[in-house]
Structure 1
Amino acid sequence: MVAKDEHDVRRGDLPFVRSFARSFVRLSSWSKENDNGSRLLTKYPILVQSISTGCLFGAGDLIAQQAVEQRGTAHHDYMRTGRMMLFGGAVAGPTLSTWYRFLEHNVKASTPFKALVKKVAIDQVLFAPVFIGVFFSTQGLFEGKSLDQIKEKLDHGYTTAVVNNYKLWPAVQFFNFYFVPLNHRLMVTNVVALGWNSYLSWINHQSSSQAKNTPSTVISPPS
């Protein structure tokens, strides 16, 4: 009875949300049956998703530098943008693509809803804190910092980033894992992450600056 009820929920009780999810996927060129991008995504999912993730990490940094920090083109830090793109393409893209496949194929439960809850819980409790730590550490390495300087960067930015992660990503991942086909999940994540990557770029820059000059403090987002 429980399984039947949940099947009914998936089919009929959330028509607007399901319709929105289908429309979202259709709006992307990846989802069209005869689209070259769709064929490439099916044939080379990790490569295609890594390239798109790298581009969106770079776009997030552009937003952080120009819209948030208002540096202007003359003072834009192109190396910083490059580091974000490198992390997105070489680390985030392959890792997230593989991680979503692991969750899809290995996390099982007696009902679809229980499987959904388990996926989100594992993603947010086990994966997200580690991934954020890897982001700060990798950026520190790309910036040529010593291990002590990377530790200072983590002291300044890590906890704030993890707390803010939990304000956004659990809800996004519930939607993502429930409604979106596996090959399109990283795309959905990347669209939402455009703003999140801007935040990560900003907080990474702030944590580097504060680590040079001040004792450990809590970083607050710009108003």
Structure 2
Amino acid sequence: MAVFTIKAVGRTVLRRSRFPSRPQNTTKRHANTSRGKPEDDPSAGASIPVPNTVATLPIWQRLGPLSTALQAYGRSQRKRPYTTQFCSSLVIYFLGDLSAQNINGDEYDPTRTLRALLISAGSSIPSYKWFIFLGNNFNYPSRGLSLATKVTVNQACFTPIFNTYFFGMQSFLSGDSLPEVWDRIKRTVPTSMINSCKLWPAVTTFSFTYIDAQYRSIFAGVIAIGWQTYLSYLNRQAEIAQDLGNGKIHMTQSIP
């Protein structure tokens, strides 16, 4: 038995002497020295490039002082939405009326500006609530279907009601009778609705696609300055035509 044990130990020693075991990190060391620069090997601690996952800021948030103003507006919109909308609407209507009076070539009439501000005061909050409703509804799995539905509903429901209110109040606040108010609406609303289809579907689509919710009102407001200029201009032309029809302006009088 002792002889057998001595032989077994001898064979084990002989095998280890013929095939010495190598450390496990010998291969890695060899690989590192064979490649030359250890930083080329990811296992040596070199940084691995990864794709940039940081979201790019929208362009309107990278415009220096303008971005600061927009961010201040967004904070005000979140804290005091009704007050912000009311004041924004007054500014939009004021600028639109000034522009329209300049286009018509008339002398500045503060009474017209006051009428515009009163109309703005009555429409600012309902208009804001409408677009909140529009943003929270008609959201389908298909983004294209959602946008198409929002644009269609806005043009079919909001536009005729708002335009009727705008032109009707312009006539009413001017002291016209109810038949004259109705005549003003008939002269202006169909034309304004047709022309609104050339502008507001594209504005609505762009707004709901690319603009954050808190900035949609100010984006639409910038566009609305031009639109209010057009509405005021159209109202003035209808007012002149109505006065001509009623004999309030003689044909020999110059009309801007």
The bucket for the TM-score relative to the shorter chain is 0.7 to 0.9
**Is 1:101 paired with 2:101?**
no
Structure 2 residue aligned with 1:192: 223
Larger Rg: 2
Structure 2 residue aligned with 1:111: 142
Q: Counterpart of 2:195 in structure 1: which amino acid? A: N
Structure 1 residue aligned with 2:48: none
Structure 2 residue aligned with 1:48: 84
Within 5 Å, give how 1:137-216 maps onto structure 2.
Answer: 137-214=168-245
Contact persistence 1:61–1:81 (CA under 8 A)? yes
Structure 2 runs not aligned, ≥5 long: 1-55, 247-256
> Which is richer in helix?
1
- Deviation, structure 1 residue 121: 1.1
Cα displacement string for residues 4-50 of structure 1 (whole angstroms, at most 9, x for unaligned residues): xxxxxxxxxxxxxxx8x932366354542xx3x43221111122012
Structure 1 runs not aligned, ≥5 long: 1-18, 216-223
- TM-score if structure 1 supplies the norm length? 0.77
- TM-score if structure 2 supplies the norm length? 0.68
Q: Counterpart of 1:86 in structure 2: which amino acid? A: L
Using the alignment, how far apart are the partners of 1:153 and 1:168 within structure 2?
23
Using the alignment, how far apart are the partners of 2:123 and 2:161 within structure 1?
12
Using the alignment, how far apart are the partners of 1:29 and 1:140 within structure 2?
40
Within 5 Å, give how 1:32-71 maps onto structure 2.
Answer: 32=71, 35=72, 37-66=73-102, 68-71=103-106
- Deviation, structure 1 residue 91: 2.6
Structure 2 residue aligned with 1:219: none
- Deviation, structure 1 residue 169: 0.9
Using the alignment, how far apart are the partners of 1:83 and 1:197 within structure 2?
13
Cα displacement string for residues 105-148 of structure 1 (whole angstroms, at most 9, x for unaligned residues): 12221222221211111111221122111111122222222111
Larger RCO (CA within 8 A; separation ≥ 6): 1
CA 1:25–1:119 in structure 2 vs 1: closer, same or farther (change >3 Å)?
Answer: farther
CA 1:22–1:143 in structure 2 vs 1: closer, same or farther (change >3 Å)?
Answer: farther
- Deviation, structure 1 residue 61: 0.9
